[in-house]
A and B are shown apart, each in its own frame.
Chain A
Amino acid sequence: MKRRNLLKGIGMGSLGLLGFSTKAPAAELLHPFALELDKKDPIFEQFGRTEDEKKRDAKLFAEQFFTKSEMKTITVLVDIILPRDARSGSASEAGVPEFIEFMAKDRPDELQTPLRGGLRWLDHQAIARFGKIFTDIHAAQRIEIVDDIAYPGKEKPGMSQGVSFFNLMRNLTASGFWSSKMGIEDIGYQGNVPNQWDGVPEDVQRQYGLL
């Protein structure tokens, strides 16, 4: 309720009249407030959903597609793709496995078989080479398999399906990581706040010979 009152309070009138003739007040009013909201409401009610959309998202959240074992493999894979480094945490720390689980339910025709089948393909490779499923082999052994499917155009015969699966995992991991709070901070996106755009900063114009 607090959210609604506050937003109403800064609704049309104040946004238009006091907000944006001078830049600071609007930014102070809106931004911290928007962040505070995130913690309070269930995620699927936070962003202007229609009644049908709320119902559908609630239904998807209530379902579980991947098994525990599959989620474990996904977690290992996304952290191989985007590991923790000096700038930010790993894909699993940014919630990427949960995002992939949601997308598989949101886009069943597009994603469920390629993902489930790809995970099976990976386990089959691990068993054939090392006698155990992917999550049970050593880190070095995992990398040995990943190296065979991570470089499209350079793969050995028989590996092309694995390459397709890894491309999909790489792309989903990138989407999930960089659109997370951690990823947005890492990549340095500075927008999504009330602002006054006054053109390209002078030093940047100079850097590119545009002054």
Chain B
Amino acid sequence: MHGSNLNPPILLHMSGIFPFFPLLNFLEMMSDFQIKAQAETYDVIIIGSGAGGGMAAYELTKAGAKVCLLEAGQHFDPADPQYITQLKWAYQSPRRGASTRNRPFGDFDAAYGGWDIEGEPYTTKGNTRFRWFRSRMLGGRTNHWGRISLRFGPQDFKRRSIDGLGEDWPIAYEDVAPFYDEVDRLIGVFGSVENLPNDPDSIFLPPPKPRLHELMLMKSNKRIGVTTIPSRLSILTKKINDERGVCFYCSQCGRACMAYADFSSSSCLCKPALKTNNLEIRYFAMAREVLTDAQTGLATGVSYVDKQTMEEKTVKGKIVVLAASACESARLLLNSKSARFPEGLANSSGVVGKYLHDSTGASRGGIVPALFDRKRYNEDGVGGMHVYSPWWLDNKKLDFPRGYHIEYWGGFDMPAYGFGWGIEEENGLFPGRDGKPKPAGGYGAGLKDDYRRFYGAYIGMAGRGEAVAREDNYCEIDPNKVDKYGIPVLRFHYNWSDYERLQAKHMHDTFEQIMHEMGAVPLGKKPGPEDEYGLNLPGEIIHEVGTIRMGKDPKKSALNQWQQAHDVKNLFVVDAAPFVSQGDKNCTWTILALSMRASRHIADLRKSGQI
């Protein structure tokens, strides 16, 4: 989800200690514990306002359904001055944009929440080191991502048929393609028509021209056969409707756009859905469980905690749509136990929580001596990279089964916290302007000049690859822990295998090859087997998928191809939980297309009276 956040400067600041609230405290707090039920029955209840929930709200309210959207966080609108971080200077933040617990990607990042949310812990099992990023706000994690908007390709739906690992999806590219087209038109994505076999073209807006380091990469990557093409980001380089503005090239999509020129679910889906008057959004609503009728086994509503008043509330609905994120939706189902559904709701197959997988990630930075003392100009461009490398090789000829793409970083960024950090490991590597070697580190006028000299000469690259979905990588309910709302928390069990380790090794070999070819000097140490070839921890790429997977066989999947629970016909899941496999793509564009597809199906079922 986070595109090129390679900028070495923003150092993560994490305590690593989760607050655990013993059940006793919780019960004491709830002395006037009461459950407030409300009379109205909504046509649809949606849990979560990110890409999947926002799209479902947009589609279903447009189709005339009365929808109640539960959001666990606060309101957010990037055009409302009280929320704006865009176009602020580094020095407007007293920490100069450094990360905080609430904004781990920096003080100006639009997303509230992070890896470690007060009172909302998660745990791990065995030697698992899993990290779970959540955004508690309207639009959820679509407020934090690189707007990388890639379609899955035909092969991405049929990996088992190709390499014998994992499962095929119950649908094919052709089933999703018309919805990708609609999402392209509705939200807007720029890119270039390339006719690549497994990276289908969208209906593109014009891409921005490459920056200097990107032109250099395109030229040198061509010599070594690494396909490098304009990136595909959901940022408006042209006007598409009267509700949204056009990109003004400040490079700050991560701060959310006051002109609504970048995609976020809050700006582009929830906001227009509200205009139908068919949508009610309940903020600070932390869902506890999906309620069911003991006789019919159908979903009847959702119980939730109002975080501001700590009241227990319920909302009734004819259809329940989960879009709380792959892990949060699995948690909800597993916590929705009843006599009829003792293993949790929609879980007769036992697959809920299993097959959890995140994209793989590995990255490396370097410095390009040819770019020392560059001429200065405004190089901001759009938020993130203007070019990238889609997977260009054939896994049949390699020792790992799935591919990856490469994202690039570089250029004249606004100096912020972390700027120049670690120069003592760099300025001794290069002779000064006089050609004489310099000792590393130092101080004074000479040091001051080194920062000027190196500014804009750094580059970075990150691989984002497909992991293989495995039954033994999963989230489950921790038997001993609850969050501050008394809701049992998730416990993660997740380890990388050689499929991912060898892929990361290949990434690092490629990064060095790319840097060598463009005349860059790689910085830091190349990771080896002792540190899993530099693989990011699972969860860190924020592309979790697979926990409530779809399939033809109700014994091996929780949902049918319409993302409707096999066991509960008025229950749907529209986040990334239904994904059977990840692809070497970012998941958001596919979440949007599939949520649109599922929502149309729900509207059809409502019309025909089947639910």
Contact = CB atoms under 8 A, between A and B. Distances in A.
Nearest to A23: B248
Nearest to B267: A12
Contacts of B242: 16-17
Interface residues of B, number: 87
Interface of A is mostly: helix
Contacts of A110: 13
B419 A150 contact: no
B441 to A, nearest CB: 5
B382 A197 contact: yes
A124 B261 CA distance: 56
A178 B250 CA distance: 19
Interface stretch (A115-123, A133-141, A169-177): A169-177
A66 interface: no
Contact of B424 (A46, A152, A191): A152
A204 B245 contact: no
A180 B415 CA distance: 8
A46 B448 CA distance: 30
A186 B452 contact: yes
Interface residues of A, number: 85
B215 A47 contact: no
A15 B84 CA distance: 14
Interface string A112-156: 000000000000000000000000000000000010001111100
Interface in B82-132: 82-85, 87-98, 100, 102, 107-108, 112
Nearest to A91: B448
Given A15-B245, A210-B215, A187 B415 contact: yes
Contact of B259 (A20, A180, A205): A20
B412 A80 contact: no
Contacts of B90: 179-180, 184
Given A50-B102, A184-B90, A197-B209, A19 B96 contact: no
A187 B245 contact: no
Given A187-B415, A191-B380, A204-B377, A106 B112 contact: no
A174 B380 contact: no
B417 interface: yes
Interface string A172-211: 0011101111011011111111111111110111011010
16 contacts: A15-B245, A34-B88, A48-B88, A81-B444, A85-B445, A87-B452, A106-B98, A175-B416, A175-B417, A178-B420, A179-B416, A180-B90, A184-B90, A187-B451, A187-B455, A195-B249
Given A109-B15, A171-B422, A188-B376, 11 more contacts: A11-B79, A15-B245, A16-B246, A16-B259, A106-B95, A151-B440, A151-B441, A174-B421, A179-B414, A184-B90, A192-B87
